[in-house]
Amino acid sequence: MLWTDPFVPFSAQTSRAAFVPAADVTVSDGDMVLTMDLPGLTADDLEIELVDGYLFVRGERTRPQVADGTRWAHTERTFGKFERRIKLPDGIDPDKVTASMDNGVLSLIVPKPERMIPRTITIGSGSEQPQLETTAA
């Protein structure tokens, strides 16, 4: 499986104005890094699971309370429960997935399974080549 666009299309189960955090995915020879903007949230507000080959990031961004006698005159920021689901290749070791949160930015590092790490094959010549075993017919 190539790691080109691992996000699985999803439908929000909340209202159309539900919070959907922006995310980026980068892929290197050794790992995938998911970075997600979660302003106003802390690590305690999130749940991260690896289930059946999918990485789930869930949480809720709640609207701040306003004082009695105050009302919202204009709102553009979105709030609500969210879930992002990312398909991962087979063979991911869940114990090697790491997560960190800094200033409302979640970073998840998912090491590639050994089978997906590119290997260079050296081409031998002359005496360096192994001898093929043949059987007499």
Q: What is the mean pLDDT of residues 56-81?
A: 91
Residues with Cβ within 8 Å of 59's Cβ and at least 6 positions away in sequence, in order, are 38, 41, 45, 46, 47, 81, 82
Q: Give the per-residue pLDDT at 131.
A: 65
Q: Give the per-residue pLDDT at 132.
A: 64
- Calpha distance 58→21 (Å, rounded): 10
* pTM (two decimals): 0.70
CA-based nearest residue to 51, from 94, 20, 8: 94
* CATH numbers and ranges of domains, the chain: 23-115 (2.60.40.790)
| Percent of the chain predicted with pLDDT > 70 | 77
Strand partners, 49: 56
- Calpha distance 16→43 (Å, rounded): 25
Q: Give the per-residue pLDDT at 15.
A: 41
Q: What's 8's DSSP letter?
A: P
Residue 136 — very low, low, confident or very high, per pLDDT cuts 50/70/90? low
Residue 124 — very low, low, confident or very high, per pLDDT cuts 50/70/90? confident
Q: What is the mean pLDDT of residues 106-127?
A: 81
Q: What is the DSSP string of 120-134?
A: --PPP-GGGSPPPP-
Could you tell me which residue, 38 or 124, shows the higher pLDDT? 38
Residue 110 burial class via C-beta count within 10 angstroms: exposed 0-12, middle 13-18, buried 19 and up:
buried
